[in-house]
């Protein structure tokens, strides 16, 4: 049986003549309104490359439609000391993928005697997982950022279907349009870490002001060549 056939409803003379009928989601939406937006989540995540670092930023609010589910959600996850990832979309899907990626990258590094996995290899690994499940996609959007001696600072915009877009800067989430306005205007080559952090702060703040689903402060993570990632929380009044 082809995988596509699993999605097709099965009908027989028994179901045809019985009172058991499958519900048509299209009919439900037309009767009850746009149901597919009921549990959409919102967020703002931003990433950019600097001269000697990668900087990721995200707000702290998790929402379900008009309900604020959390004011302290963690949207930037450290995968390895040189690698981190932001999450947007379905929290359950994203947290599962973070756990899988941590396990797979740790196994790689054990096999290579502790050598850090290349950022692009980790991105390809995640993209393969997402692409493999595109018939039943994970409802996520990720920014992967990291730094190795060979690659330098790397930012990858990874879509829910497994697309990989290498970028100097990017934003993902319901507030991304507002963040892009700041990133396009402020970004330049060879930024210092302090300059990069200020741009990320302004970009996420711009989205918090204008996007109802973003808010409750900003998390910023800085990844450098040496040492553990640096995390900072900036409250927004």
Among all residues, which ones are annotated catalytic? 43
48, 201 Cβ separation under 8 angstroms: no
DSSP conformation letters of 50-78: -SSEEEEEEE--EEETTEEEESS---EEE
Q: Which residue's entry shows tokens 């949207």?
A: 75
- Secondary structure element (H or E) that encloses residue 13, with its range: helix 13-17
178, with CB counted inside 10 A (0-12, 13-18, 19+), is buried
Could you tell me where the beta strands, DSSP code E, fall in the chain? 45-49, 53-59, 62-64, 67-70, 76-80, 83-89, 140-148, 152-158, 164-167, 169-172, 218-224, 230-234
């Amino acid at each position: 049986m082809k995988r596509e056939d699993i999605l097709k409803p099965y009908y027989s003379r028994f179901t045809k003549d019985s009172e058991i009928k499958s519900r048509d989601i299209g009919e439900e939406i037309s009767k009850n309104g746009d149901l597919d937006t009921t549990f959409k989540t919102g967020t703002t995540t931003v990433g950019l490359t600097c001269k000697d670092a990668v900087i990721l930023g995200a707000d702290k609010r998790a929402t379900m439609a008009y309900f604020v589910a959390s004011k302290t959600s963690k949207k930037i996850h450290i995968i390895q000391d040189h690698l981190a990832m932001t999450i947007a979309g379905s929290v359950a899907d994203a947290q599962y993928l973070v756990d899988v990626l941590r396990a797979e990258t740790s196994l790689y590094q054990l096999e290579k005697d502790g050598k850090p996995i290349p950022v692009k290899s980790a991105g390809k690994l995640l993209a393969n997982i997402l692409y493999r499940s595109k018939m039943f996609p994970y409802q996520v959007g990720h920014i992967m950022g990291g730094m190795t001696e060979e690659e330098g600072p790397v930012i990858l915009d990874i879509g829910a279907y497994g697309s990989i877009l290498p970028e100097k800067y990017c934003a993902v989430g319901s507030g991304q349009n507002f963040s892009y306005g700041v990133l396009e205007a402020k970004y330049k080559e060879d930024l210092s870490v302090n300059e990069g952090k200020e741009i990320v702060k302004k970009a996420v703040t711009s989205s918090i002001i204008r996007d109802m689903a973003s808010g409750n402060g900003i998390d910023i993570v800085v990844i450098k060549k040496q040492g553990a990632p640096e995390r900072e929380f900036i409250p927004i009044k």
